[in-house]
Structure 1
């Protein structure tokens, strides 16, 4: 009687991920590779000599605080979306967007401080690298703010809620990524300026 029993192996389910999330992760990996190449180039070029050393402006500490705060408000937006508190989601995303814009304005101000300190984009490579690293990161912050505004509009249209979290999850992931990327760059610059 036991010989009639046969073991049937269940087909394995393939690993799956939302295609938009997968694309976001591929994009973030690409960005990491770009910044890894730039910071590696920074170290290699610095070792060649003819490198002007300068102090990073205090305002970079301020912008770093702003971006850390924006990460907290973005996480708050995500948690409120999970609870269907859409008014708080709108508030948190709005605050995050404003903080992102404040970060950009602060970074532009930092460039002015650098120019006043005679650290220019053209001239010594140390200044060039600083402008390229912070400018390229700023460009990604602009894309993050645009993403935030898209999610905010979706929230007003009631497309973001506990049963539809994909868009805000992706936005949260991207925003935290941008924040972590800035922390990496800031610490890198502190250690290698």
Structure 2
């Protein structure tokens, strides 16, 4: 179990580091990086810094929850949940949303406003499908008699998926703002930074979900919450 926790923590750290590297190498303000003399660079946009501060705080929150789960798992009364098959589809939807958001970034860099709007719509619809799928999983477990207070495994399942879902909902607020700006402005370059920030956040949501999914269903790490028969 300890080895599994260490591995998942390292995997999360590598993914976040990769996202950070991708972000610092993408500079949408670079075209305006020189002043009239052509020598001084414009500072990094505050929105990008704020996003990474938020991601650091969110990562700390998820690490605390996973650590609490790892400690609780060691007690003798642990009783795993059945494995909802729908989690596979939900994961595929979130992967699709992340890919659509990255495609939108490329469209914004090329100045293709119509593609930006289409990409944002696709990503939003896929993300909405992910949330709907998660709610359906909750209903399936509830109908099967697995409530929040029924066991420690159920409590952690609902807590981890709920916290992740709240972060997804928060991302949809930023997504809606970017979509409205894309619809109002014919200039795709004007919303390029907002689209790139949304893409970074979506990739982060996917990275977190990959780790959570491994905790939920993978017996290989010795930490699966849903290790009983499929639901």
Provide TM-score, normalisation by structure 1. 0.88
CA contact (8 A) 1:160 1:167 kept: no
Which range moved further: 137-146 or 15-24?
15-24
Equivalent residue for 2:134? 107
CA contact (8 A) 1:154 1:160 kept: no
Shift of 1:32: 0.6
Q: Which of 180, 183, 186 is residue 210 of structure 2 equivalent to? A: 183
CA contact (8 A) 2:178 2:191 kept: no
Equivalent residue for 1:19? 46
CA contact (8 A) 2:116 2:188 kept: no
Equivalent residue for 2:96? 69
Unaligned runs of 5+ in 2: 1-39, 219-223, 226-231
Provide TM-score, normalisation by structure 2. 0.74
Paired residues, what number?
181
2 CA distance for matches of 1:163 and 1:66?
A: 28
Query: Structure 1 segments of 4 or more deviating over 4 A?
Result: 13-16
Equivalent residue for 2:119? 92
Residues 75 and 49 of structure 1: is their aligned pair in 2 closer, same or farther, counting only changes over 3 Å?
A: same
Shift of 1:54: 2.2
Unaligned runs of 5+ in 1: 1-12
Query: What do the CA deviations read for 1:127-182 (whole angstroms, capped 9, x no partner)?
Result: 00100100111111111111111101111122762365211111111111111111
Q: Which of 131, 137, 147 is residue 174 of structure 2 equivalent to? A: 147
Higher-Rg member (1/2): 1
